[in-house]
Structure 1
Amino acid sequence: MCKAIIADGEHRAAKLLTELIQLIQLIQLIQLIQLKTTQPSDYPEELGETSEDNYEAAIEGLEFHVSVARKKGFLRD
């Protein structure tokens, strides 16, 4: 009986983890869409980098994460 309860809990935890990963990846897609609607000059500067450089780095990072999510089937085009 205990093994069944533990197995059920592990199954639920795995399912919730998958849903959480999907949610995070959806949030990254939304952030990418929002970022692309802003001007690079409006993006904040950090530690000697221009706002344009930080903007491009943020776009590249989000595009990478979104592409990984698409490859894994969590997001569709």
Structure 2
Amino acid sequence: MASSPFAATLRTNYCPTDQEVLDIKALLIEPTLRVQNLDDDIAELQRSLNKLMEERDSVVADVEAHRALISPTRRLPLDIIQ
């Protein structure tokens, strides 16, 4: 929140009046919605990131399997291996 009328009392032992409690609750509506929207955006990005990481892992596994096929050890003549 930009500048709260309660900034001076934050992180103190101040006890708000009944009216101030109502004012604080009203003040928190918009930032609470903003937090929820940000949480939703983060969750969506995390799902996208997880999907990309799974795809990457699959491609890496294919690359490694193909590289294993062309490893120098596989190209050694059978008589040398024996």
TM-score w.r.t. the length of structure 1 is 0.49
**Structure of larger gyration radius:** 2
TM-score w.r.t. the length of structure 2 is 0.46
Tell me: higher relative CO, structure 1 or 2? Use CA pairs within 8 A at least 6 residues apart.
2
